[in-house]
Amino acid sequence: MTRLSSDDFRALVTAMASAVADNAERLTELDRAIGDGDHGANMQRGFDAVAADLDTLAAKPLPEALKAAGMKLVMTVGGASGPLVGTFFMTLGKELPEEFDRAGFTEAFSKAVAAVAARGKSHQGQKTLLDVLFPMQAALEDGKSVGEIATIAGQAAEATIPILATRGRASFLGERSIGHMDPGAASVALLASVAASMLEQQP
Residues at the site binding ligand ADP, with contacts judged by CB under 6 A: 31, 35-36, 38-39, 42, 79-81, 84, 120-122, 128-130, 167-169, 182-185
Phi (first) and psi of residue 188, to 5 degrees:
-65, -40
38 lies in the binding site for Mg ion (CB under 5 A): yes
| Residue 89 CB, nearest approach to ligand ADP (Å) | 15
The answer to the question of residue 36 lying near Mg ion (CB under 5 A) is yes
* Smallest separation (angstroms) from ligand ADP to the CB of 39: 4
Tell me how far, at minimum, the Cβ of 27 lies from ligand ADP, in Å.
8
**Distance of alpha carbon 5 from the chain centroid:** 20
Q: How far apart are CA 20 and CA 1, in angstroms?
A: 30
Q: Tell me the C-alpha distance between 19 and 42, whole Å.
A: 14
Stretch that binds Mg ion, among 32-40, 64-72, 114-122, 157-165 (CB under 5 A): 32-40
Q: In angstroms, rounded to a whole number, what is the distance separating the alpha carbons of residues 173 and 34?
A: 7
Rounded-to-integer distance, Cα 42 and Cα 38, Å: 6
Residue 149: CB minimum distance to ligand ADP, A: 19
- Residue 81 interacts, among Mg ion, ligand ADP, none and using kind-specific CB cut-offs from 5 to 8 Å, with ligand ADP
The answer to whether residues 165 and 126 touch, using CB atoms and an 8 Å cutoff, is yes
With respect to ligand ADP, which residue has the nearer C-beta, 61 or 78? Answer: 78
DSSP, residue by residue, 115-143: HHHHHHT--TTSSSTHHHHHHHHHHHHTT
| Residue of this chain nearest to ligand ADP (CB atom) | 184
131 binds Mg ion (CB under 5 A): no
